[in-house]
Chain A
C-alpha cells in the first residue's frame, strides 16, 4: 500500500492547483477524480480572470492569482493562452455607477490599475460597443483570460512530474474519520485509501461528500449556461470581458484565438446540478450579445453548454480547515473558481504544509457569518 501525504478529491482547477502546489512543497499527493480532469465546472467555464472585486479579501486573493497566472507559462514550459485584454464592467444605471465608484476606491487602495471611464471614452476605446443607455464603465486593463484546459494540463503534468498521482474514473463514496481525525477515503468499489490529509475539492458535489463526515458546507449549485462562436477576425482592440449588469445582461469576451465566449446569470436563478442546455439560453444570449456588440449578429454560434456555479450565501468561497483534523475544504467558488484557482491552491497548500496562510483569509473561513455579499458577480 502506497503512502500519500495528502488525498485530494476532485480534479477541477481547485483540486489540481492544490495538488500541484502541495507537490511543490515536496508532498506526495493523490488526486482522485470520478470522471476526467475538467469534467465538472472547470471544463465548462469561460476562462475569465479579473481583480475587480469588492472586498479586501477577494481583491487580494484575485491579485495573488493573477500574479500566479502570469508565471504559469514559465512554470509549465508552454503557454496557457493567458492574455490581459481587460474587463469592462458596464453601468447602465446611476446605482450601478455608484457601486463601481465605491469599489474602484477600495481596489485602488490595493494598487490595482482600474478607472471609471465615460460612455464617450468607451466609444473611443472600444468602438464596437453599443453605448446606448450607457453611463460608463469600470475598466481594468490588467484583467484578462486563459484557456482552462491548458491550465489543467500544466497542473496535471506538474503533479506527475513531482511524484504525485492522478486517479481518473474513480469515485470517492465517503470520507473516513476516526476520533476527530481524518483517516482517508473510501472508493465506490469499496477500496480504502489512507492519508492523514484529505482535501475536499469536489466542486458542486462537495457538500454531499462532506456530509459523510457530518461537516455541513453552505454550498448550493446553480445552473449556468454558456456559448462559444466560431473563430472570427480579432477585433481591434480585442473585445475585453464586457459585463452587462442589467437584469437581462450577459458577459462575454473574445478569446485570443478569435472565438467569442460568454454567458449570463439567469434571473431567477436555476438551482441544482442540472447541466442541460436550453433553447432559451441560445436565443437570449444571442439577443443580449448582439445588443452590446451589434456586428456580432453576423457570427455563428459553434456550441452551447451548461455547468454549475457552486454558490455560498455571500458569494465568496470557503478555503479553510475544518473541525476534523486533517480535513480541508476549498469550494463554493461561485463564478470565480477559475480565476481564483491558482491562488486558492497555493494558499491551501501553504496552510497544509506550513500551517499558515500568507495572506489574510478570514473572509473565506468556514465559520464566518456569511452575511455580506460580493457585489461583483
Chain B
C-alpha cells in the first residue's frame, strides 16, 4: 500500500471518531484519523491549558474519563496515523480525500471512510445579535478552555438547553460571574427531559453537579424568558429580556434591561454535514434529531457501502450517543471485512440496542429544547440574518413570498449564505424561517466543495502528482 493510502480514514476526532479509532487499532489495518483542531477529543473533551486544568477538570463524567484514556492510548498506537490541524476540504470520486494542513494541501485515499464530524451551534437572531460582545456558548467555552481566560467579568447566558448550565458551571469554576440564565422553555416543559435522564445516570449526575454550583453561587435562573435585543455602539452594553406569555408573545410589562458587556447565547446544535455531503451520501430530515442528518442503517452504514457515519451527524444526542456509535460503526465496518468473531458480532447487537435507547433520549431532548417556529417567523424586518453578506430578514421574507421553499432559491435570490462562511451560521436559521412560513422543511442547499476555502497555489501541484500516478 502506498504511503497515502489507508484501509480506513476517520474524519473527526471527537468522542465518536476516537472510539471508532480505538476499536480499529486492535486490528491489522492501516488507519488514519483527521481533525481540524490541534487537539484530539472534539467538542466534549477540548483539552485544557495547564493553568486551568486543576480547576475545571475536578469533575469528570465517565465518558470524559474514558475519552481522555482513549486519547492517551491513541497517541501511543503505531497502527493509527493522526493528522491534527487538518481540515478536510473535500471527498472526491475515486475515494480521494483532500485536506489542508498547516498551509499545505494533501491528498489521501481510503478504502473505507468513517465520518464523525460532530455538530455546531444553532442561532435565533434578534436585533443586535451580530454585535461584538454577543458570543455563542461554545465560543465562551473555547475562550475559557483554549485561551485560558475569561472573556468578561460578568456574563449573561440565554437560549435553551442544558448546555447553558454546563457553560455557567465552567465560568463559575474559572472565577467568573454569571449575571443570569434565561432559558426559553418553561420549567413544566422540561419535565419530559428529566424523566429521560433516568436512563442515563451519568448525565443525571452531570446535571446535579452543574446545578449545585449554579445555585450555590446564587445565579438567578429564569424559565420561559428570552432575549429581545442587544444594544451598544461598538459592542454590547445592555440587553433586554422578557417573559414569554401563554400565547407565545413576550409580556410587555415583564421586559427589563440588563447592563452587560457579554451575552452568551445557545439554541442547540445542528450536525456538521459538509464532509458527508461532499462524499455524496444521502441525508434525511428529522426535526427531533437536529434537522438534516446522515441516513444510515442500524449499523451506521450510509447510502454508500464504504462510508459509515457516527456521532452527532446521525442525530444530535450528546456524548454518550457518540461513544456508542463510534464503537458500533467501527465494529460494523470490521464485520463488513469479515474480521469479527462471534463475540464481536454479539457486541454489535448489544450496541444496536443501546443506540436505540440513546436515540429515544435524543429525540425527547431535542423536542423539549426546540425553539418554537413562531420565534423565527416573527424576526423583525431589519434584523440581520446572513452576517457575511449583510442580508436582513426583510430580504429573506421577500424571497420566500416569491419563490419555492427551496434553500437554493432563497440563497440565490438574496445572496444569504454565499459569503465566506458559506451559510454555516445562517443556513439553519433560514431553514427554520422557511419552515415557519411554509409549514414544511425546505430542500437543503446544494453542498459545494471546497468545504473550507483552499489555496490556488497549493492545488496546482496536484497536476503533476495526478499525471505521475496515471
Contact = CB atoms under 8 A, between A and B. Distances in A.
Interface of A: 35-39, 43, 149, 152-153, 156-157, 160, 166, 168-169, 229-231, 276-280, 282-284, 286-287, 289-290, 296-305
B423 to A, nearest CB: 11
Contacts of B406: 35-36, 168-169
A43 B411 CA distance: 11
A169 B93 CA distance: 30
Given A169-B404, A299-B456, A300-B453, A279 B448 contact: no
Contact of A290 (B412, B448, B456): B456
Contacts of B457: 286, 290, 297-298
Nearest to A156: B402
B108 to A, nearest CB: 13
A248 B90 CA distance: 24
B191 interface: no
Contacts of B413: 149, 153
A149 B408 CA distance: 11
Contact of A160 (B402, B404, B448, B454): B402
In the complex, the 7 A-B pairs of residues with the closest C-beta atoms, listed nearest first? A297-B457, A300-B453, A36-B409, A287-B460, A286-B459, A283-B462, A303-B448
B459 A282 contact: yes
A301 B455 CA distance: 6
Contacts of A298: 455-457
A279 B94 contact: yes
Nearest to A231: B420
Q: Among A168, A276, A303, find the residue whose CB has the most chain B CB atoms closer than 10 A.
A: A303
Nearest to A296: B456
A230 B453 contact: yes
Contact of A168 (B409, B456, B460): B409
Contact of B463 (A168, A169, A284, A300): A284
Contacts of B446: 305
Interface string B410-428: 0011010000101000000
30 contacts: A36-B403, A36-B406, A36-B408, A36-B412, A37-B403, A37-B409, A43-B412, A149-B415, A168-B404, A230-B420, A231-B420, A276-B93, A278-B92, A279-B90, A279-B92, A279-B93, A279-B462, A282-B450, A283-B460, A286-B457, A287-B459, A287-B460, A290-B456, A296-B456, A298-B455, A301-B454, A301-B456, A302-B450, A304-B450, A305-B446
A282 B461 CA distance: 11
A293 B450 CA distance: 22
B98 interface: yes
A168 B403 contact: yes
Interface residues of B, number: 32
B455 A297 contact: yes
A301 B409 CA distance: 23
A296 B457 CA distance: 8
A107 to B, nearest CB: 33
Nearest to A167: B404
Nearest to A35: B406
Given A279-B92, A287-B463, A290-B456, 6 more contacts: A149-B412, A169-B404, A276-B93, A278-B93, A283-B461, A286-B456
Contacts of A283: 459-463, 466
Nearest to B399: A153
A153 B398 CA distance: 11
Contacts of B94: 279
Contact of B455 (A166, A287, A300): A300
Interface of B: 90, 92-94, 96, 98, 402-404, 406, 408-409, 412-413, 415, 420, 422, 446, 448-450, 453-457, 459-463, 466
A233 to B, nearest CB: 15
Given A38-B412, A149-B415, A303 B450 contact: yes
Nearest to B448: A303
B332 to A, nearest CB: 28
B404 A36 contact: yes
A298 B103 CA distance: 11
A286 B460 contact: yes
Nearest to B459: A286
Contacts of B90: 279, 282
A294 B280 CA distance: 33
A131 to B, nearest CB: 19
Nearest to A283: B462
A277 B90 CA distance: 11
A304 B449 contact: yes
Given A39-B408, A168-B404, A279-B94, A229 B456 contact: yes
Contacts of A302: 420, 422, 450, 453
A25 to B, nearest CB: 23
A304 B453 CA distance: 10
A175 B155 CA distance: 64
A239 to B, nearest CB: 14
A109 to B, nearest CB: 39
Nearest to B388: A231
A286 B455 CA distance: 9
A132 to B, nearest CB: 16
B403 to A, nearest CB: 6
A345 B420 CA distance: 34
Contacts of A166: 402
B455 A280 contact: no
A277 B94 CA distance: 13
A305 B448 contact: yes
B92 A300 contact: no
A157 B413 CA distance: 11
Q: Among A36, A229, A280, find the residue whose CB has the most chain B CB atoms closer than 10 A.
A: A36
A274 B378 CA distance: 40
A39 B457 CA distance: 31
Contacts of B409: 36-39, 168
Nearest to A294: B457
A81 to B, nearest CB: 11
Contacts of B412: 36, 38, 43, 149, 152
A278 B92 CA distance: 7
Nearest to B96: A279
Contacts of B408: 35-36, 39, 43
Contacts of A153: 413
A226 to B, nearest CB: 11
Contact of B466 (A277, A280, A296, A304): A280
B107 to A, nearest CB: 8
Nearest to B462: A283
A72 B338 CA distance: 64
A243 to B, nearest CB: 19
Contacts of B453: 229-230, 300-302
Q: Among B93, B412, B462, find the residue whose CB has the most chain A CB atoms closer than 10 A.
A: B412
A293 B322 CA distance: 47
A149 B460 CA distance: 30
Contacts of B422: 302-303
A279 B108 CA distance: 13
A105 B406 CA distance: 48
A290 B403 contact: no
Contacts of B466: 280, 283
A300 B454 contact: yes
Nearest to A259: B418
A299 B93 contact: no
Contacts of A276: 93
Given A37-B409, A277-B449, A279-B90, A290 B402 contact: no
A35 B412 CA distance: 13
Contact of B456 (A160, A280, A300, A305): A300
A276 B422 CA distance: 19
Nearest to A33: B404
